[in-house]
Structure 1
Amino acid sequence: MPLPEAKPPDGATLFKQQCATCHTTTLSDAVRQGPSLFKIVGKAAGKADDFRYSAGFAKADFVWDEARLDAYLANPQATIPGSIMAYRQPRAETRAAIIAYLKELN
């Protein structure tokens, strides 16, 4: 009897596995290595009051949308020179799932 086909992880699971070490998704949790990503879609980049951003983010002049998040997750330093985030996600479907989850938080 063949095993059932495995379902890909959903965005929340992927976020917990790949992002939650450095980021929270609430405003009540303590800030970690990165800022909270609660309601990040539509928010100005580098402007959270409770986080000290890198020099690259201090110069950022845009609002986070799906396209910016996708580009940033694929290559943070190319999107925001001076960014110190080491995480890169080369798989478009994984980035899309994480971004869909972040949009749910709005």
Structure 2
Amino acid sequence: MRQLILGAALAVLVPFAAQAQDAAAGEKVFATCKACHAFGKNGVGPDLKGLIGRKAGTHEGYNYSAAMKNSGLTWDSATFMEYIKDPKAKVPGNKMIFAGVKDDKKIKDLEAYLETQK
């Protein structure tokens, strides 16, 4: 009976362990973003330092599109995931020229990396 319970617990937990966020892997995903984004300063794209929790289109000193300013979004995990998969679909008319990151694991890793940059 004990083995059955242990086996069932492992069967439930293994998929979660496989999907754990990896900030180091996220830093590698961020290499694509570096062409336009940085931490601590605006560039072609806005500063991403402290992104999660920020209201979209509000970072001081960056000239956002009207679409982003008026999106009503706040960057949380779900919103970021939807946006980064297809920026033009999530916020039509935004200025970001990027096809998106389609792999959910890479997005979660990227988010973990962004969380280290507060």
Taking every aligned residue pair, what percent have the same amino acid on both sides? Answer: 27
Residue 90 of structure 1 pairs with residue 105 of structure 2: no
Q: Indicate the residue corresponding to 1:46 in structure 2.
A: 57
Please, what TM-score do these two structures have when normalized by structure 1?
A: 0.82
In 2: Cα distance, 1:105 partner to 1:86 partner: 23
- Give the Cα separation in 1 of the matches to 2:67 and 2:49: 21
TM-score (norm. length: structure 2)? 0.74
CA distance in 2: counterparts of 1:12 and 1:90, whole angstroms: 16
Structure (1 or 2) with the greater helix fraction: 2
Equivalent pairs, count: 95
Structure 1 segments of 4+ aligned residues over 3 angstroms from their partners: none
The structure that has the greater radius of gyration is 2
1:67 aligns with 2:78: yes
Counterpart for residue 11 of structure 1: 26
The answer for the alignment partner of 2:43 in structure 1 is 32
Aligned match of 2:35? 21
Q: Secondary structure of the residue that 1:10 maps to in structure 2?
A: helix
Of the two structures, which has the highest relative contact order with CA contacts closer than 8 Å and spacing of 6 or more?
2
Offset from partner CA, 1:34-78 (integer Å, 9 cap, x none):
000000000010001110001211212121001111111101111
How big is the alpha-carbon RMSD for the aligned residues of Structure 1 and Structure 2? Answer: 1.6
List alignment gaps of at least 5 residues for structure 2: 1-21
